Amino acid sequence: MVIQQVRQIGIPVKDVKRATAFYGETLGLQLLFETENMAFFEQNGLRLMLTLPENESFDHPGSVIYFSVEDIEEAYQKLEDKGVSFLDQPHVVAKMNQTETWMTFFKDTEGNTHALMSEVSV
């Protein structure tokens, strides 16, 4: 197979400083470095790039990022306490054998939708 892994995800933003604070301070991701137009975070080998669109063809809603958490209820509460705008409550989206997949969706400061997800043994 040609593609081995996802290495980086780019998210278009309107305000780099505001988005950097959200992803770094609110979500707790590790900031690698930032420039005037971009900020890069690292999470377990996956790089997240926040960037001002280079031109109009890149100015569109970003991809949904699914952040894995161990305890979705606890993560939901901590992030809600920090002002994260959730679209729903944590809920089961799939059941496979002895595992349930739980999710909850939220908006970042730039209007992008992302999710917390947790695999729970039942």
The helix/strand/coil state of 36 is coil
- Report the largest interatomic distance among the alpha carbons of the chain, rounded to a whole angstrom: 48
- pLDDT tens for residues 81-110? 999 999 999 999 989 899 999 999 999 998
Question: Tokens 């770094």 identify what position?
Answer: 24
For the whole model, what pTM was predicted?
A: 0.76
CA distance readout (Å), 84 to 48, 95, 115, 118: 19, 27, 11, 18
Domains of the chain in sequence order? 8-121 (3.10.180.10)
pLDDT digits (tens, 9 = 90+) for 10-68: 898 999 999 999 999 999 999 999 998 999 999 898 999 998 877 675 666 677 888 99
